[in-house]
Structure 1
Amino acid sequence: MRVPPLQPLLVRQVCLLFWCAGVLAALHPVEGLCAVLFLLLADSRFRTLRRFLLAAALCAAGFAMGWWRLGPLRSPPPEPPWLAAEHGETTEKPAPRICGVARHVQGLPDGRLRILLEAVRPEPLPGARHADAPLPGDCVWTWEEPGFRPLAGQTVCVSRRPVPVRGFANTREQAQEARWAARGVFWRIWSRGWSGGPSLSGEGRPDARLRESLRRDLLRVLRPPDSAAAPEASLGAARGDAASQARAILPALLLGARSCLASDTLERFAAASLAHSLALSGQHLALAGLAGLFSVLLLARLRPGIYLFRARAVWVALASLPPALFYLWLGDAPASLLRAACMLGVMTLWLLRGRTATGLDALLAALACIVLISPLSLFDLSLQLSVLCVAVICLCLPGMRRLWPM
């Protein structure tokens, strides 16, 4: 069987890459210009005057979009009066007690938590009629040795003074600030244990409660038989224990919950070139594809006539969408998993329309769906690595088929 060579990208797909290069040039002008020159040299279709002007217009539009969305990095949002007054004090005063609504909670290695807080303002005093203005933008709270795990939608209070994200020591590197700006985060705080007197109120969103209950049930199943402690405490108490770390790997693989893993375990994964397996991505959605395949095969046993309406590939893609969306919700939609889900949705749509497409077509279509809605997602390191890895796999497939035709 003759395998066709690698087909060139469509013109609209190259136009998307020109636009992405313009967005990247807003923060990294040298790298963005090199990407534009590489695209012009690689694709001879854009060497005519009309196509060259089209590429220049797309790069300019992407640069303008990136420059506009990165505006808060060039001119940071002003501090509210209550925070500016605290900074202007000449005498030592305790940190203000602030409250915010948890928007996203992520478990980090060594038992840490990363909590995104929105509508952060000082805790209202008893009898106060007017609440202070909130911080412009969200705040990221890194909590070591947490006393509890808040849910999305709950209100958290802690005595800490927010500082701008731009206050990192490495002032020349703005990629980290751009990643946080893409998520609307411009402030940060840090605490350890019960320092600052953290408190919790509210019930949280129903979906967050359900996701947390599933996570706790999994930890309870993995708890050692002779342990009477809480599920998460029993796995995290002995982070140096090999058996405990072996149990903690499963929640990290299935749910992306790394709070029970130790840094040494992650270093061993990186040394074995297996760190990518802990990131929720397309390999996890393969479980959804297997569930869809088995469902279609079972249904075909009962009703073989379904193949008269649609081909098996179409039925499998349709049956894979519900478990894929469920897994996207269960994993809290990280960038790599969102990319894989968008690729599955695009491929399903094309199969329904009777179109044939390659993996590279689906990848670029998924990238377009993500970056056209959130252009600053291009600065997300997880999305960059996910897109580049899948692109390399798609580019190597024709050569792999020649080496191993079966």
Structure 2
Amino acid sequence: MRWAQIRRCAEAHPPAKIIFLFALLEGLIWGTGVWLKPHIVFPALAVWLCSLTQSALRRHVFKDLTGLITGGILVGVLGTGWLYFNGAWPWFLEMQLDWNREYLTDKTNNLQNYGYVVFSMVVRLFPYSFIHLAAVPTALALLIRQDPKRNDSDKLRLQLLSTLYLAWCLQVLLLQHPFDYVHFPPLLLGIVLLTFWIHCHQRFPRMLKTAAGSFVVLALICSPVTKPAYLKLWDDCLQQGSTGSIRNRLARIPFPDWEDMERVADYLRRQQAQDNEITCYSNDLVHLFLYLDLEPSTRYVYSHHHATYFPSKQPAIYKALRNSPQKYILTNLMTPGLLVSQAKEIGPEGPFSYPPAFPEDLKSNYPWNLPIAFRSGTLVVHQYPEKPIHKQTDTSADKSTQPRSDEFSPRLEDVPPRE
């Protein structure tokens, strides 16, 4: 759309209304993208600044910019109105103006673990991780070098695409945490850039042809399309649907165990759990809210991650948990850093107890200090007490539902449970 707008402005006498309307439409699209991910505003700005290198657009820059801003404002007003009438506006504003600063600060303070996380992600995304090795230098060369043999239309589109790709990569690295889904869009943009560059290249060197062909072959070898173990699951998927067993066999990351998740869901159904009675403390257990069609106990759906990434908000998070009607707190025994084999191990105290490798010091901290009501593999359901539990003296009671220490005081960072 940006390329077409530049071409439109290059006409002899383009109508001002047409330029404004097409810019308005482009602004509506960028504005919608900002609602999905606010970081997109940086690639959008970069692409617009790149388009200003064209003298045709500079002659109509006011009409173009007015249309873009108007479209963005319209989408912003619609989204803000929806948030306001649904009662979510104050929380949205609080997140944007207060919480996000701490989220970004945590990224810069956690550089030691950053390298390991990025390396693991590169392995999971193999071989597509190699796209950047070719796309980044290609994009830089297209922006810096001028090729007189290439027609202006192709050159302009390649420059806009290069700007979009590089700006997206920068905002991903500088502003966002290293989650797989965050790095997927720049990979797609890199593939599109390289593909279009190859298409525009009239004389393509044999070495580059060999490299491109080798990458395609490698991608097919690593693709599920060529794996018999994946292909034979089609029949099971069509007949059974998305079962825990099928999910486990397709998963790229070994947690959560989807069959264990189904067993936990079945247990909570038998307990007739209701809305606001479940806290999924560990991040990967939030799928259970969809399994059970229930509302979480608080607005802090990712309780553990919220408390970790926003340390200054811990008192508010724990207070909300304390005052909520929660009855069940769900945790993953891998959260403290245990391997899958360690977290699934059954200790001498039985199946409804902690594995031997579980850190002893955590057993006195929330939520690990709560009694275990149910366990399946690495997943644990803790029972939240209705009243404060005092020192335990009955050693003959069932250990699966009793506290694990001589003195048990369930607390949320020294905040007592609700009466």
Class of the TM-score when normalised by the shorter of the 2 chains: under 0.3
Greater RCO (CA < 8 Å, at least 6 residues apart): 1
Q: Which has the larger radius of gyration?
A: 2
TM-score by length of structure 2 reads 0.25
